[in-house]
Amino acid sequence: MNAKERVTDIVIVGGGTAGWMTAAMMAKLLARGYRIRLVESEEIGTIGVGEATIPSIKVFNAALGLDEDELLRATQGTFKLGIEFVDWWRCGHSYIHGFGRIGQDWGILKCYQYWLRQHLAGSAPALGRYSINTVAPPRMKFMRSQPQMKDSPLADIAYALHFDAGLYAAFLRRFSEQRGVIRTEGTVVRVAVDATSGHITAIEIASGERITGDLFIDCTGMRALLIGQTLGVGFEDWSRWLPCDRAVAVPSATDGKPIPMTRSIARPAGWQWRIPLQHRIGNGLVYSSHYLEDDAAEAQLLANLDGPATAAPRRVRFTAGKRRQMWSGNCVAVGLSSGFLEPLESTSIHLIQAGVVRLMRLFPHRGVNAAETSEYNRRCDFDYERIRDFLILHYHATQRDDSPLWQYCRTMSIPATLEEKLALFRENGRIFREGEELFAEESWLHVLFGQGILPHRYDPIVDQQQPDDITRFLKDIERVIDRCVQVMPTHADFIAEHCRAGSL
């Protein structure tokens, strides 16, 4: 095969987290025979609030061969066992969506089915008592898995990371450039498209340089310069289900004792995030402009910080939804150019990761193939839609009626896919992960129970066990989890020992 028949010249337009995650993975997997170029402009800022992740980020970093402690030192990072949701179901109530296992299975049933029997009878504590990931964060405890302790919950601790997104992009930039990625500084002023094929042939930057390529990756954020403005791929608006359309973000001082979880606090017109890093706390307010003015939103955020703000607030406008196609012609949209889902469950960086990994699994060999493009778009659509449903659940399953936003969300219609999942759960507490959807059964359970959705009944197979045996089974899990958390170091001590960052 002649080299010219292959896709060899790759142009990534836009930097930030999306651009440099894409460049890093391509540099790792396409080390020979490919030219990878990234074009970005320092004049164009990035949103840069994607500082919380989910456990899948560890798979991405491991695939690159990154040392996690080195990465955390470079990005002022901390660890994350889950997300605490405050005031979502009703004011004064909170729960933790913890990563990882809940208890242990008994026979063919999950632990939660036995818990559900006891809970419906009024004789069981909250579901969060049965998982390390929900017991440890309030006690400020953390450790990595201890695989040598095979029969202990400590053998398998699921966790994610908090880090400074700008520093993460800079870390991946160094990684990428060391492996041959060429960075070009410049603002794109024109995009050339072939009149016959509709494919992008080149971009032109302000200096006058013309950059050609076989495959173009759009990492231009919400501008969607290539996929949207140039190729005209439409946008599917989901704001009827996810009505928040604004965010304001600001860093604040830290007390040096980071809690190992993200916190999400429901507010009258949206919700506030709190992400603890080593050198600061990341804060933001996501809200609906229909119910709250921008200046009032900024004032509300500044009035609810744990410490003094350390920079000026930054405002962001967005519309929840996705592109109708993420791969069109020879252009693939990655990151915010492909769609936006608010960071309620820390999925922004995961969606970048999923897009990049999916592209590499379907990477074109000899030009663009319709079957591969279709499969890519189908899988992206599935990802976005299932995450969308999970986010809608938080808003819709609420008893709050204290403000117009919550009154709207509580009574709005929801997608059929979510309606079907809820109907199945309400009958006998059954929930199943469909295909490769992101959130596992445990994640759905934490949010369903945390948001006050109780099934009418439990699985009938539970009654094959004696009630006293079920009580002992659950109490044993509680005791084991409690003992495990007692021996864990504090989150601050673990960071100090393994990955404390230097001063900026």
| Active site positions, annotated | 80
Q: Is the dihedral of CA 147, 135, 127, 405 positive or negative?
A: negative
Q: How many CB atoms lie within 10 A of CB 221?
A: 21
Reading the block at residue 249, the tokens are 């973000």
DSSP labels, 25-36: HHHHH--SS-EE
For residue 269, what are the contacts with CB-CB under 8 A and spacing of at least 6?
Answer: 287, 288, 291, 292, 297, 403, 405
Beta bridge partners of residue 251, listed in sequence order: 282
Radius of gyration, alpha carbons of the chain? 23
**CA 70 to CA 449: how far, in whole Å?**
38
CA angle 446, 447, 452 (to 5 degrees): 105
- Identify whether the C-beta of residue 315 lies closer than 8 Å to the C-beta of residue 247: yes
CA-to-CA distance for 342 and 385, rounded, in angstroms?
13
Calpha distance 5→290 (Å, rounded) = 52
Q: What type of residue sits at position 352?
A: I
Query: How many CB atoms are closer than 10 A to CB 1?
Result: 7
